[in-house]
């Protein structure tokens, strides 16, 4: 969406107020009523209501009736203000905001007195933190079920995935075009004796056909000018029965986010990804949107699993 200078100025002014930023950070975590926001922030109720009104008109928050109460939460629509907020949010780390979140937890506990923690978040448990209950912990618990054989990590970055799967693989090869991130990966994985590193282009990986039992392309496609070519280059590297695992952003329209993270495309669609996989002779076992981020602009992630017959 193109903006005039006046519109751009209005959005910048909207997000230049520290009180409004505090409210957005609070509502990112959970829905809250005006009275609760007043208690948490110490702001006058009239000021809180005024700020919420402006944020609502900008498409950043919405209100909803729940059990007779009006609760505010972050809005789910696309807007220019939401795009700017997304860029700002990634850089925000503020002591006052952390204190606000702690106070909010206490306020919500008061509201839900008489319920267990699990009962209070039933139906949206994955959105709430509890000690030790993280996606990272879950992944480490489940990864032991895998037997990966010889594995290639395409556009491996600094070795986060390789570190996770090395214990369940015969070998892991990290392929990345950046010498700097490969150096970071070597440092991270210096204790792993079955991990090797290769600087190379994911469009033309320097490996012989049939070299791997598994090939992972985790968030690699957004860095490809021709994502289809990455799939076409990866498929022949699989042995019979080998699997290609792809995770990538679903197609979106957020040019600002693309530029901020050095992506070279705006994601790919489910149908296109399925066509590319099948066009390489792979049997597609799964290809669908598997997650949607809980804050604007609500990026969706596609996961695909395809097997070499």
Distance CA 149, CA 230 (A): 22
Structure-token pair, residue 213: 């039992």
**pLDDT value at 117 more than 70:** no
Tokens of 167: 């214990």
Which residue, 185, 184, 225, 183, is CA-closest to 201?
225
Q: Are residues 297 and 150 in the same domain?
A: yes
Length, in residues, of the chain: 309
- Cα separation of 150 and 34, whole Å? 55
Token pair, residue 36, equals: 């609760």
Mean local confidence (pLDDT), 234-239: 98
> Does residue 128 belong to any structural domain of this protein?
no
Q: Which of 93, 121, 149 is the last residue of a domain?
A: 121
Q: Which residue has the tokens 């699993």?
A: 305
Same domain, 247 and 113: no
Domain range enclosing 214 = 135-307
Longest CA pairwise span in the chain (Å): 68
Same domain, 156 and 218: yes
Claim to verify: residue 215 and residue 116 sit in the same structural domain:
no
Asked whether the beta carbons of 80 and 59 are under 8 A apart, the reply is no
Percent of the chain with pLDDT over 70: 91
130 pLDDT more than 80: no
Q: What pLDDT, in 10s, does the model give residues 171-193?
A: 999 999 999 999 999 999 999 99
Which of 99, 121, 143 is a domain's end point?
Answer: 121
Confidence of residue 67 (pLDDT cuts 50, 70, 90): low
pLDDT of residue 104: 86
Question: Quick one: pLDDT at residue 3?
Answer: 75
Q: Tokens 């950046």 identify what position?
A: 178
| pTM exceeds 0.85, yes or no | no
Residues 141 and 167 in one domain: yes
Specify the range with the lowest mean pLDDT, choosing from 9-18, 112-121, 129-138, 161-170. 112-121
- Asked whether residue 62 falls in the same domain as residue 28, the answer is yes
User: Number of folded domains in the chain?
Assistant: 2
* Closest-CA residue to 31 (of 1, 78, 80, 67): 67
Q: Note whether 53 and 115 are same-domain residues.
A: yes
CB 171, CB 215: distance < 8 Å: no
Contacts of 182 (CB under 8 A, 6+ apart): 156, 174, 176, 197, 199
CATH of the domain at 76: 1.10.10.10
- H helix or E strand, kind and range, residue 291: strand 283-292
Q: Under a CB-based contact definition with an 8 Å cutoff, are residues 174 and 182 in contact? A: yes
Residue 108 sits in the same domain as residue 183: no
pLDDT band for position 136 (cuts 50, 70, 90)? confident
Per the domain annotation, does 181 fall within a domain? yes
- Indicate if 160 and 228 belong to the same structural domain: yes
Structure confidence at residue 209 (pLDDT): 97
In-domain check, residue 127: no
Residues 172 and 285 in one domain: yes
Task: Map residue 30 onto helix, strand or coil.
Answer: coil
């Amino acid at each position: 969406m193109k903006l005039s200078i006046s519109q751009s100025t209005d959005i910048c002014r909207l997000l230049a107020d520290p009180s409004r930023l505090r409210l957005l950070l609070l509502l990112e975590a959970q829905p809250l009523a005006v009275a609760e926001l007043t208690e948490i922030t110490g702001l006058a109720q009239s000021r809180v209501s005024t700020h919420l009104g402006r944020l609502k008109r900008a498409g950043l928050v919405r209100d909803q009736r729940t059990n007779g109460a009006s609760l505010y939460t972050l809005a789910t629509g696309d807007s220019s203000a939401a795009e700017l907020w997304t860029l700002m949010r990634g850089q925000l780390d503020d002591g006052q905001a952390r204190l606000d979140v702690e106070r909010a937890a206490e306020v919500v506990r008061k509201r839900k007195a008489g319920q267990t923690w699990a009962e209070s978040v039933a139906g949206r448990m994955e959105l709430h933190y509890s000690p030790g209950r993280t996606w990272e912990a879950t992944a480490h618990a489940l990864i032991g079920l895998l037997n990966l054989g010889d594995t290639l990590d395409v556009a491996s970055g600094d070795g986060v995935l390789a570190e996770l799967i090395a214990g369940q693989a015969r070998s892991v090869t990290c392929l990345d075009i950046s010498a700097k991130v490969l150096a970071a990966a070597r440092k991270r994985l210096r204790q792993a004796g079955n991990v090797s590193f290769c600087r190379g282009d994911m469009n033309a990986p320097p490996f012989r056909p049939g070299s791997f039992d598994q090939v992972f392309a985790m968030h690699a496609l957004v860095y490809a000018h021709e994502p289809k070519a990455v799939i076409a280059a990866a498929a022949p590297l699989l042995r019979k029965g080998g699997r290609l695992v792809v995770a990538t952003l679903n197609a979106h329209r957020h040019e600002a986010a693309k530029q901020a993270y050095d992506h070279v495309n705006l994601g790919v669609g489910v149908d296109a990804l399925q066509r590319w996989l099948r066009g390489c002779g792979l049997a597609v076992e799964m290809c669908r949107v598997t997650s949607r981020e809980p804050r604007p602009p609500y990026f969706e992630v596609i996961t695909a699993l395809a097997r070499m017959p």
